[in-house]
Amino acid sequence: MRTILSFLYRSSCNIVFCTAVLLSVVLTLTGALSASTTPQIAAGGYHSIALKSDGIVLVWGYNNYGQLGDGTYTYCKTTPVQLSSLSGVTAISGGEYHTIVLKSDGTVWAWGCNDDGQLGDGTTTQRNAPVQVSSLSGVAAITSGGHHTIALKSDGTVWAWGYNHYRQLGDGTTTNSTTPVQVGGLSDVTAVAGGGYHTIALKSDGTVWAWGRNGYGQLGDGTYTDSSTPVQVSGLSGVIAIAGGWGHTIALKSDGTLWAWGCNGSGQLGDGTTTYRKVPVQVSGLSGVTAIAGGYDHTVALKTDGTVWTWGNNDYGQLGDGTTTRRTTPVQVSDLSGVTAIAGGYGHTIALKSDGTVWTWGHNNYCQLGDESDADRTTPVRIGTLKPAIPTVATTSATNVTFNSAILNGSVNANGASTTAWFKYGSTSPKTSEV
């Protein structure tokens, strides 16, 4: 095969690819050339998930229910492990003790705890490896609640399965379901999100709808009454993104402002109080937001400038501001910029930077930070172990060598990994060490 490669002056180990940081010009060799997936991160209750650009899934953290999907029940993994049995993944999500992925063919796969049928395979059998969700295809997006799972199909309908005691499946009952059921009376949906025991949907007209538990006002309809079918969130329009915490809900409007409602005992609504809200209130002092995420009782926002802001509970350092002080208004995460994606777990937070590196902070008792320890962190730490295996490279020369590119004549294995080759300027022969 002939692979066109580019010289890089500096690069870093990251979730998408890995090259060495060198003082001289280096050549980065990508192991697989295929349709690219946008790299993603997701957080379960006490575990973390990452999706590489080649569709490969990495997992780390708590695994007592098999939620890492690597075929084991090892208590926890302190560094990321690759799920070699799974490929072609385009989206990822994590529940409290289970994990869900969407493949490019529109099928959904799940593993981990299944006590309430949240894996959707028609059983309540726990799984430590991926199983396909039954009778479900044409899926465009996935999300998860604490013990239930939600899928948005390409036709704009919403389907759910798992725990339903609080009516979070939206099918008009309180009966658990081990296979997908359609949410009643809902169409033209463009996004879905899961809370602990409630579910949220965004419609194409910018309105937000919710169902399930409402004891904290998390449905946003002005009541504290649970609902088995979708109800419209009061006084909210122009919404472009939604997210759920355990007992609170967050919405991002097209003007970059952020609104929240529900439980506020730790200040997770960001309005400067700890007062529960049954209708949306604006998050204080925050604008220019492009993405949002909900943790158990903390909230995360990404701004257009690549900075991350957090508020709510901070007992484990999950706000990332170097303290364990709870915050009722947003604070900036310390020493972090260039972020493109965020995720919130029960007590930890994850960020993906534009250079492909993954950073984590907060609770780490279950190794969910992936930093080879179980120590909590109050500021972001970079996961430095997302190195794939170095591929096997067979090459004898390079041609068309210019100042910033070359063509390797040889073969590279297809495991999606990368390596580094060194070239002396003006030479067509690769070296075995830096020159």
Contacts of 363 (CB under 8 A, 6+ apart): 46, 316, 317, 318, 345, 346, 347, 348, 376
Res 37: pLDDT: 84
30 DSSP β-pair partners = 418
Res 185: pLDDT: 94
Q: Copy the structure tokens of residue 425.
A: 């300027």
Q: Copy the structure tokens of residue 349.
A: 């937070």
- Edge to edge, what strands does the sheet with 393-399 contain? 393-399, 405-412, 2-8, 26-30, 418-421
Res 405: pLDDT: 60
Beta-carbon-side half-sphere exposure of residue 360 (alpha carbons within 13 Å):
35
- Edge to edge, what strands does the sheet with 327-332 contain? 289-294, 298-303, 308-312, 327-332
Beta strands in 297-368 (DSSP E): 298-303, 308-312, 327-332, 339-344, 348-353, 358-362
Contacts of 429 (CB under 8 A, 6+ apart): 397, 398, 423
The letter for the amino acid at 11 is S
What tens-digit pLDDT sequence spans the chain (435 residues)?
Answer: 333 333 222 222 222 222 222 222 222 222 333 457 899 999 999 999 999 999 999 999 999 999 999 999 999 999 999 998 899 999 999 999 999 999 999 999 999 999 999 999 999 999 999 999 999 999 999 999 999 999 999 999 999 999 999 999 999 999 999 999 999 999 999 999 999 999 999 999 999 999 999 999 999 999 999 999 999 999 999 999 999 999 999 999 999 999 999 999 999 999 999 999 999 999 999 999 999 999 999 999 999 999 999 999 999 999 999 999 999 999 999 999 999 999 999 999 999 999 999 999 999 999 999 999 999 999 999 995 444 444 445 555 666 666 556 666 655 544 444 445 555 555 555 554 443
Rounded to 10 degrees, the C-alpha dihedral 104/107/111/115 comes to 150
Query: Which domains are assigned to the chain?
Result: 1-33 (no CATH), 35-187 (2.130.10.30)
HEC assignment per residue over 3-61: EEEEEECCCCCCCCCCCCCCCCCEEEEECCCCCCCCCEEEECCCEEEEECCCCCEEEEE
Res 22: pLDDT: 21
Contacts of 401 (CB under 8 A, 6+ apart): 423, 426, 427, 428
Q: Copy the structure tokens of residue 76.
A: 């926890």
pTM: 0.82
Going by C-alpha positions, the residue among 175, 178, 166 that lies closest to residue 98 is 178
> For residues 198 and 229, what is the distance between their CA atoms, to the nearest angstrom?
11
Yes or no: say if 272 and 303 are a contact pair by the CB < 8 Å rule: no
> For residues 17 and 170, what is the distance between their CA atoms, to the nearest angstrom?
41
CB-neighbour burial class of residue 335 (10 A; exposed 0-12, middle 13-18, buried 19+): exposed
Give me the DSSP letters along 222-291: SS---EEEEEEPTT--SEEEEEE-SSEEEEEETTS-EEEEE--TTSTT-SSS---EEEEEEPTT--SEEE
Please identify which residue in the block is written with the tokens 């894996």. 119
Q: Copy the structure tokens of residue 337.
A: 């910029």
Yes or no: say if 25 and 9 are a contact pair by the CB < 8 Å rule: yes
Res 115: pLDDT: 98
Res 425: pLDDT: 52
Rounded to 10 degrees, the C-alpha dihedral 298/356/385/85 comes to 90
